[in-house]
Amino acid sequence: MRVIANDALAALDSGRFRVRCLLRAEMDEGDFAIWDDYGSITVAGVTYSGAPGRFTVSPVSSVSDMSARNCDVSLSALDLETIGKIDEIDWHQRPITIQRAILAEDAPQTIHVMTYFSGFLDQMIWKETPGGTANITFRCEPSARELQRKGTRTRSDSDQRERDSEDGFFAS
């Protein structure tokens, strides 16, 4: 269940709202942060540069078996400003967060922000068609991939004693 602020619920009920996508990749050189509207917006201390129509985010599917599903972020390869930033940075396995922001329709005010996807940049796929379009797609792995990894710890007295020699919880 999602918890949404009362102001956001009132805006949703009245129909006087806008939903925008905030995309942030954490880099050593500084955050790469864009959003799908004009101008800049600052949310939680991060300034997002306007990039309307310059990127799309694939739908994120939820699965009952808890398996990890990828999310694709497509950027226009004709956007020289964005390409210049991507070429200069080490992007592989960097954290990425995609959020949905509910804004008041009558004022440029962020009412509510919720995380849509959280994960890591895994692959960058360039696609060009002669005389057509050029796209860059970032394939992002979700943070949930860490849940499928096996640990080396066991529920045994010897393993527990390695951690704390005085702890005999698992002693027979």
pLDDT of residue 16: 83
pLDDT of residue 96: 93
Phi-psi region of 80 (alpha: psi -120 to 50; beta: other; left: phi over 0): alpha
Residue pLDDT, tens place only, 20-35: 999 999 888 888 889 8
d(C-alpha 49, C-alpha 38), whole Å:
8
Residue 48: count other Cβ atoms within 10 Å of its Cβ. Answer: 24
Is pLDDT at 15 greater than 80 in this prediction?
Answer: yes
Annotate 102-118 with three-state secondary structure: EEECCCCCEEEEEEEEE
The model's pTM is 0.74
Q: State the pLDDT confidence band at 143, using cuts at 50, 70 and 90.
A: confident
Q: Mean per-residue pLDDT for 102-107?
A: 80
pLDDT of residue 154: 81
Q: State the pLDDT confidence band at 160, using cuts at 50, 70 and 90.
A: confident
**β-pairing, 110-128 with 40-43?**
unpaired
d(C-alpha 140, C-alpha 120), whole Å:
5
Concatenate the DSSP letters of all residues of 137-151 into one string.
EEEEEEGGGGGGPPP
pLDDT of residue 108: 66
Residue pLDDT, tens place only, 54-103: 888 988 877 777 666 789 998 887 777 777 777 777 888 899 999 999 88
Q: Mean per-residue pLDDT for 34-55?
A: 88
